[in-house]
């Protein structure tokens, strides 16, 4: 018997191998994860797991005879295929319906409007011209985003109704909510939702995430309690009972408003921040929960941690710098530059346009916050505009 992992990155494959189970990797064509296969222990199969007919044949012909213990994914594109395979095989998992409503922003809004309207915002399906016109008439600013988008791709703030004509089927319009933004990592077991970490988010450009800090420096104890209660209400409303969740929200003058949620751990290095400040291997727990993996003897390494993503003006890279010194009480845990001299940097329109990162830990959230500000102010990657 084995654990099936759908759509694993190289890093996730390494973590999965620590669970002590034979693994079956299910990958899209072109994946390099099979390079990590342990001889005589793991297997790898390449198929278009986005096609449910392909999944059904794969489950019947390949997986069913192997009798896997569970099917799991922690990557956005693998969540629904993993749920489909779990249903076909009868293994423990979040249901397909719950995964679908957490991935589809329009379905989520419609369900929240019925079950927890206090957590939601006004919205309109891009296909409904009357609803879109009504939304713009009632709000000065409106957000448009793909219904199933990720990585801040395609997220825009619109200030006039005539701009809506550029966005059609496949998009959702939402009331713009002012206020600070946070993400929440939670772990559920049999319908009980425990908040693991609240993370303060920094954004730039077209709402692209450029920093994450935990614990936040901008929340009162009352606001933290309100966030935790709101996340539990959200997960109950959507029907999540087991496993990890990553929820993005804002704290406004009208209370907590949900931006989106997913039944997976947060990306962008948030799992590393959880490991530092909570002492939990968040990736391993998120992969292993169907096998009974649960938080055990957490041992935090620092009071606070943050990740900042480096950005640069559009152009050709002319210079990159070495790790910088930061203030007392702060340690640089990781540093990476993903571009080299001669590469072209694009305008900052999604997470894919960032050029590197630094992870820091510290004695306090304020120390990490100051370190992030200092690093963001430095020209870590220098570019020259293309004439």
Instruction: Categorize the per-residue pLDDT at 169 as very low, low, confident or very high, splitting at 50, 70 and 90.
Output: confident
Band (pLDDT 50/70/90 cuts) for residue 294 is: confident
Residue 387's pLDDT is what? Answer: 67
Measured in degrees and rounded to the nearest 5, phi and psi for residue 342 equal: 100, -20
Three-class DSSP category at 174: strand
Smallest Cα–Cα separation from 185: which of 196, 173, 172? 196
- For residue 196, what are the CA distances in angstroms to 231, 247, 267, 382? 11, 12, 15, 37
- Tokens standing for residue 350: 């999604």
Residue 44 three-state SS: strand
Two structure tokens written together for 67: 């009798």
pLDDT of residue 45: 96
Q: Tens digit of pLDDT for each residue in 126-161?
A: 999 999 999 999 998 999 999 987 666 778 889 888
Tokens of 325: 């010194």
Rg (the chain; Cα; Å): 21
Domains of the chain and any CATH numbers: 3-93 (3.40.50.20), 122-175 (3.30.1490.20), 181-384 (3.30.470.20)
- Report, as an integer, the average pLDDT of 40-68: 95
Strand partners, 195: 186
Distance CA 25, CA 307 (A): 29
Bridge partner list, 144: 156, 173
pLDDT digits (tens, 9 = 90+) for 26-44: 999 988 777 788 888 999 9
How buried is residue 275: exposed, middle or buried, by Cβ count under 10 Å (0-12/13-18/19+)? buried
How many other C-beta atoms lie within 10 A of the C-beta of residue 229? Answer: 12
Q: Which tokens go with 135?
A: 């939304």
What does pLDDT average to over the chain? Answer: 93
What is the C-alpha separation between 359 and 245, in angstroms, rounded? Answer: 22
Instruction: Single out the residue of 227, 244, 128, 138 nearest to residue 179, CA to CA.
Output: 227
Q: Are 145 and 153 in contact (CB under 8 A)?
A: no
The pTM is what? 0.93
CB 186 within 8 A of CB 245: yes
Judge whether residue 24 has pLDDT over 80.
yes
């Amino acid at each position: 018997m084995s654990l099936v992992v759908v759509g694993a990155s190289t890093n996730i494959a390494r973590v999965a191998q620590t669970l002590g189970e034979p693994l079956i990797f299910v990958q899209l064509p072109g994946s390099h994860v099979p390079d990590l296969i342990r001889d005589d222990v793991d297997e790898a199969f390449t198929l278009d797991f986005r096609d449910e007919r392909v999944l059904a044949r794969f489950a019947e012909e390949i997986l069913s005879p192997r009798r896997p213990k569970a099917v799991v994914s922690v990557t956005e594109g693998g969540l629904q295929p993993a749920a489909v395979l779990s249903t076909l095989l009868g293994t423990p998992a979040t249901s397909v319906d719950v995964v679908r409503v957490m991935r589809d922003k329009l379905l989520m809004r419609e369900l929240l409007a019925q079950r927890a309207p206090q957590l939601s915002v006004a919205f309109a399906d891009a296909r409904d011209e009357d609803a879109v016109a009504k939304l713009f008439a009632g709000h000065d600013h409106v957000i448009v985003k793909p219904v199933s988008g990720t990585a801040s791709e395609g997220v825009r703030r619109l200030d006039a109704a005539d701009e809506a004509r550029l966005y059609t089927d496949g998009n959702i319009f939402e009331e713009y909510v002012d206020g600070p933004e946070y993400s929440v990592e939670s772990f559920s077991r049999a319908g009980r939702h425990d908040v693991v970490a609240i993370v303060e988010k920094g954004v730039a450009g077209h709402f692209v995430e450029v920093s994450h800090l935990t614990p936040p420096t901008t929340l009162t104890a009352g606001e933290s309690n309100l966030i935790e209660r709101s996340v539990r209400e959200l997960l109950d409303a959507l029907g999540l009972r087991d496993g990890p969740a990553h929820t993005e929200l804002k704290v406004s003058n009208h209370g907590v408003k949900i931006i989106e949620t997913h039944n997976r751990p947060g990306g962008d290095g948030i799992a590393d921040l959880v490991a530092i400040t909570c002492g939990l291997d968040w990736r391993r727990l998120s992969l292993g929960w169907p096998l009974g993996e649960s938080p055990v003897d957490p041992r935090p390494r620092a009071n606070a941690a943050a990740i900042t993503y480096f950005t640069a003006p559009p152009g050709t890279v002319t210079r990159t710098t070495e790790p910088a010194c930061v203030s007392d009480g702060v340690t640089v845990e990781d540093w990476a530059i993903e571009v080299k001299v001669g590469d072209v940097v694009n305008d900052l329109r999604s997470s894919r346009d960032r050029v590197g990162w630094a992870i820091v830990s510290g004695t306090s959230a304020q120390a990490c916050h100051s370190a992030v500000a200092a690093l963001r102010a430095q020209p870590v990657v220098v570019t020259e505009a293309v004439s």
